[in-house]
């Protein structure tokens, strides 16, 4: 599988690995020497029961290139099935070194039309899924004194997006989860980081707020310039020993650009010796801080979708 393999001897679980970013990470991890559990709940294109599942297809691709992998079609959304994913890694390859949480779904809707079931299902897959696989791996990591978790977050939560309150809530929740894991598990040599990827995949085939013409131009540009394979190197780095001192961070990747996100910290203070009332806050705080308030921006306002 080549020289200078950064993941040689490691066993990595990649969820949502039947396509998109997850597939790209699984392929590169295998190319870098890892044995990979390719997890995906997806069905074959066209629903043909006799056709190869997305997970099995990725395993076949890895094996054809000389790598080692096994398919998992368990769901991350329930504790028992998520635990089976981790146990499959251990029973098949003898250990677990890293988990990349890439599984996800979309159920987009403007908030006043967002159904409870669609809110819950998105949190179940993204946020609960990240917890389930990470928690299942944590006992193994603790026992061996090392381990890496990489979670896919999103600018939908970090910055903002229209029609994606469920997705944004789940993705920002993952940031809090990762940060807490990084603190709780540091004593056991376990690290946890997030990546906010910009990549075309089956999960972004519609973008609320764009006209059909704008959307087609946007998607075509995304296909060409923000590919899943451009996200994979960062995820592989964070699983490797080269990142053994990196934890609790939020990274981004867009095309050939990588970046580091800031994390919430106080930026302004205002003190009043006699305390505050709603009236004095309105008179003093609002005008003093107005220029520091974060504007109601969306991801494309910050990054500029035309420039992608």
Q: What is the pTM of this model?
A: 0.90
Paired sense of beta strands 257-260 and 250-254, if any: antiparallel
Set 131, 167, 218, 259: catalytic member: 167
- What's the whole-number mean pLDDT along residues 48-58? 85
Percent of the chain whose pLDDT exceeds 90: 81
Decide if 261 is catalytic: no
Report which of residues 198 and 203 the model is more confident about: 198
pLDDT band at 211 (very low <50, low <70, confident <90, very high): confident
Rounded distance between C-alpha atoms, residue 45 and residue 68, angstroms = 24
Rounded distance between C-alpha atoms, residue 235 and residue 224, angstroms = 21
Lowest mean pLDDT among 49-58, 140-149, 173-182, 239-248: 49-58
Q: Where are the beta strands (DSSP E) in 33-189?
A: 35-39, 68-72, 98-101, 147-152
* Contact call for residues 121 and 107 (beta carbons, < 8 A): yes
- Which residue's structure tokens are 């010796």? 273
How confident is the model over 67-81, as pLDDT tens digits? 999 999 999 999 999
- pLDDT value for 215: 73
How confident is the model over 112-158, as pLDDT tens digits? 999 999 999 999 999 999 999 999 999 999 999 999 999 999 999 99
């Amino acid at each position: 599988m080549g020289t200078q393999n950064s993941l040689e001897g490691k066993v990595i679980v990649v969820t949502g690995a039947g396509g998109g970013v997850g597939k790209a990470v699984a392929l590169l991890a295998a190319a870098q020497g890892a044995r990979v559990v390719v997890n995906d709940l997806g069905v074959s294109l066209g629903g043909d029961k006799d056709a190869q599942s997305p997970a099995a297809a990725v395993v076949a691709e890895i094996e054809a290139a000389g790598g080692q992998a096994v398919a998992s079609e368990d769901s991350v959304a329930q504790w028992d099935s998520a635990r089976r994913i981790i146990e499959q890694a251990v029973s098949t390859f003898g250990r677990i070194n890293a988990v990349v949480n890439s599984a996800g779904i979309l159920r987009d809707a403007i908030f006043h039309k967002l159904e409870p079931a669609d809110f819950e299902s998105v949190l179940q897959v993204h946020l609960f899924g990240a917890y389930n696989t990470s928690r299942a791996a944590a006992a193994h990591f603790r026992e061996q004194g090392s381990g890496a978790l990489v979670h896919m977050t999103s600018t939908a939560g970090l910055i903002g997006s229209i029609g994606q309150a469920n997705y944004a809530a789940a993705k920002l929740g993952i940031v809090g989860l990762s940060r807490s894991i990084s603190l709780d598990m540091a004593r056991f040599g376990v690290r946890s980081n997030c990546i906010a990827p910009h990549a075309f995949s089956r999960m972004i085939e519609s973008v609320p707020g764009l006209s059909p013409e704008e959307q087609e131009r946007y998607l075509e540009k995304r296909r060409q310039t923000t590919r899943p394979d451009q996200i994979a190197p960062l995820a592989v780095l964070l699983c490797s020993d080269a990142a053994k001192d990196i934890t609790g961070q939020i990274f981004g990747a867009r095309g050939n650009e990588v970046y580091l996100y800031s994390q919430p910290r106080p930026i302004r203070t205002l003190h009043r010796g006699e305390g505050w009332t709603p009236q004095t806050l309105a008179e003093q705080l609002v005008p003093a801080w107005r220029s520091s308030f974060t504007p109601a921006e969306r991801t494309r306002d910050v990054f500029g979708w035309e420039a992608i």
